[in-house]
Amino acid sequence: MGEPEARQKAEILDGAKLQHAVQRIRGSRDELLAILERLVGYATVSPPARNTAVAQDFLANELEAAGFGISRWELYPGDPVVVGIKPGARPDSCRSLILNGHMDVAEVGKPGEWLGDPFKLHVDGDWAVGRGTADMKGALAAALLAIRILKDEGILLGGNLQFQSAVGEEAGEAGTRSITERGLADGYDYAVVMDTSNLAIQGQGGVITGWLTVQSPQVHHDGMRASMLHAGGGVFGASAIEKMAKLIGCLQELERHWAVVKQYPGFPLGVTTINPAVIEGGRHAAFVADSCRLWITVHVYPDEDYQAVTREIEEHIRYAAMADPWLREHPPTFQWGGRSMIEDRGEIFPSLELDRQHPGLDCLAGCHEEAAGRKPEISMSPSVTDAGWLAEAGVPAAIYGPGLLSEAHGVNEGVSVAELLTFAESLLRFIAVWCNSPKTEGREDQ
């Protein structure tokens, strides 16, 4: 950083105030747990969803108290998306930042299997238990603490800071996608998706679901089956279920091919899978099945475009269908993606390929090291998050949040309180440093 840039940064960022804020956050265990207890107390389970409005009210009030202007809309009735924006003092010259999280949590399963009420925070030493503590209300609580202390300590930000609290992430619903579609993420310099990563800085692969349909134009009685199977039967017909079984085999062949020819650093071979998750077909036992639908889940690597992968699948299946006399005349159809696993039985999570040379990642890693006393792991998430939607909207992004993935969605889900405090400190440092860093034209200057 050149001398003029350093002087400009120093004029905004008061180092003494930052150090005082860091000391305060390190002693804020009780304040952090109070916020987390409040968030866990909201039973924002998805599915069934449509239950986050009161929790989002609480979060919006916290943001407003910290100087954020609020935008809010309903993704679905009872599930609002909340976006808070805190305008920077020098938005044209200082870098901007998005913090992204989701308010919904995974299903509880059988509450009797839990040691206590899943929606009442239980703290035992360093371990805080409750639904969503790891995924990802712990991160939301720590982030709210960080911005509260930044406000209280009078730390000014040069660039704009945006806080996104999406909904529907657990059910593949398009909460974050709706933010990008409204243009609210446009022009931001970096984004941190605060989802579960055990404080590693991560990218991710992508996921898309799809439906394959085999449909016969005729409906045949079960008694006609023999006429379809033998030479001289005279009926050009087939069971849609049996034809779908043939296509499932073709999908398995493609999946095995991918395991050989596709790879990406940070992932084991064979991660690009095609899972036949749900099959539906037939009328009842007195009919030959005239329709069959297969719901598949497809995983792609970070450098793959899910739309290109779906075209590859369609091409493979259509070539396979050409080798079957009946399927050649009645080829399968495809329906890809969706905006909700609940509403339209479909989802998309675009991939996120980390830019390891981006100054935002470098700054985040440095702030983590200051807070944790060690360099962060730079890796790939074995799961998926909303980060891909921000990347697809043109915002450089990384996944970085507290909690173990093995705790997410589990019975007696828990998180380390010390890790939450480390995350809160790291995030506070990153907001203060990044949003007071001058924009530069080229990477060589960054």
Residues marked active site are found at: 104, 169
Quote the CA–CA distance of 116 and 255 in Å, as a whole number: 42
CB 206 within 8 A of CB 384: yes
Quote the CA–CA distance of 401 and 419 in Å, as a whole number: 9
Backbone phi, then psi, for 240, in 5-degree steps?
A: -65, -30
Cis peptide before 48 (omega within 30 of 0): yes
What is residue 230's DSSP assignment? S
Quote the CA–CA distance of 444 and 446 in Å, as a whole number: 6
CB 435 within 8 A of CB 161: yes
Quote the CA–CA distance of 104 and 76 in Å, as a whole number: 13
Alpha-helical runs (H) found in 102-236: 138-152, 175-181, 225-229
Burial 44-79 (b: 16+ CB within 10 A, else e): bbbbebbbbbebbebbbebbeebebeebeeebbeeb
The continuous run of DSSP H or E covering 259 comes out as: helix 240-261
Quote the CA–CA distance of 444 and 442 in Å, as a whole number: 5
Q: How far is CA 358 from CA 364, 378, 395, in A?
A: 10, 13, 12
Quote the CA–CA distance of 325 and 341 in Å, as a whole number: 35
Q: Which residues pair with 128 in a beta bridge?
A: 123, 415
- The sign of the dihedral angle between the CA atoms of 360, 356, 196, 21 is negative
Contacts of 260 (CB under 8 A, 6+ apart): 269
The two most distant CA atoms of the chain are separated, in Å, by 91
